[in-house]
Amino acid sequence: MKTGEIDRRAKPQGALFSDWTAADGWRLRVMDWPAEGDVPSRGSLLFLGGRGDFIEKYLEAMDYWRRTGWRVAAFDWRGQGGSEGERGAPDPQAGFDPLIDDLAAFVREWREGSPGPHVVIAHSMGGHLLLRALAEKAVKADAVVLVAPMVGINSGPVPASIAPRLARLLVALGRGGAPVVSDYQARIAGKDARRNRLTSCPDRYADELWWQKREPAYDLGIPTWNWVVAAYRSIARLTAGALASIQVPMLILAAEKDGLVSTSAIRKAAVQIRGAELIVYPDAAHEILRESDRVRLDAFARIDVFFDRQTG
């Protein structure tokens, strides 16, 4: 499937894939993709995906950024994509903390080894982890874009006030390793239910399935209750005071009808983060950067304007 200048189903020439070793010895797969040679350099951009994402899923977006002058870096979170680690299952005690540690250490090395300014774009769970790292002063960046960040979970139809307690109860009852949606429930919802939550673009959704068929380990499946409990515990760390302490220029993109993360929680967080700009797309799904061109290209244009204003 080709769009513009890139084949979304092939690793691009010029992108260097290698290993990066975390402090505790786990190997993470990373990518370094130099900017197009005939355009002025804008600096270095790090992209952070969400739960279940992998580098190849966002090659189209990263190709756009490198063609506009950014040197692009990305990595697969531990336990995802081509990185080592327990697949999609956070340690019950540590939760998301090892991911924060990985991010902090990687960003320090990335900033030291790449030209500035240094900007970060983070999607969904990646946006949550970046927010935590910024609030905890573990990461520095010159400007940040969050895309549908997980500052709250869309728990519908269960009320948001009850959902964390229900998740903890199910874990206490021994259901921690079970998926939050059974195979039967998934079949009842229909084969298009997941796609509709992620993107209205069938071709880009098909790209993800193609990569997962080629690399079965890329498919993490449905989150477990253990993951959900870890997510709620980590979200609780993003208090109003923690968010107010963040002092980096920030643009937040959200989808009004997001079926995975809470748009109302994003709106609340945007008010609490000093100077944050918020754009909400009324008819986009969760993966704004993999949406139809009408939404996706508008998002890229707004990101360009934001980075030009903050780093130009």
The answer to whether 20 touches 27, Cβ cutoff 8 Å, is yes
Domain 2-311 has CATH 3.30.450.40: no
Q: What is the CA radius of gyration of the chain?
A: 18
Q: Is 24 helix (H, G, I), strand (E, B) or coil?
A: coil
What torsion, rounded to 10 degrees, do the Cα atoms 139, 140, 146, 150 define?
20
- pLDDT by residue, tens only, the chain of 312 residues: 334 579 999 999 999 999 999 999 999 999 999 999 899 999 999 999 999 999 999 999 999 999 999 999 999 999 999 999 998 878 878 999 999 999 999 999 999 999 999 999 999 999 999 999 999 999 999 999 999 999 999 998 899 999 999 999 999 999 999 999 865 456 556 668 899 999 999 999 999 999 999 999 999 999 999 999 999 999 999 999 999 999 999 999 999 999 999 999 999 999 999 999 999 999 999 999 999 999 999 999 999 999 999 997
pLDDT of residue 88: 80
pLDDT of residue 92: 77
CA-closest candidate to residue 276, choices 248, 298, 307, 256: 248
pLDDT of residue 183: 54
Domain ranges of the chain: 2-311
What's the pTM value of the predicted model, to 2 decimals? 0.96
pLDDT of residue 93: 84
- Exposed, middle or buried by CB within 10 Å (0-12, 13-18, 19+), for 113? exposed
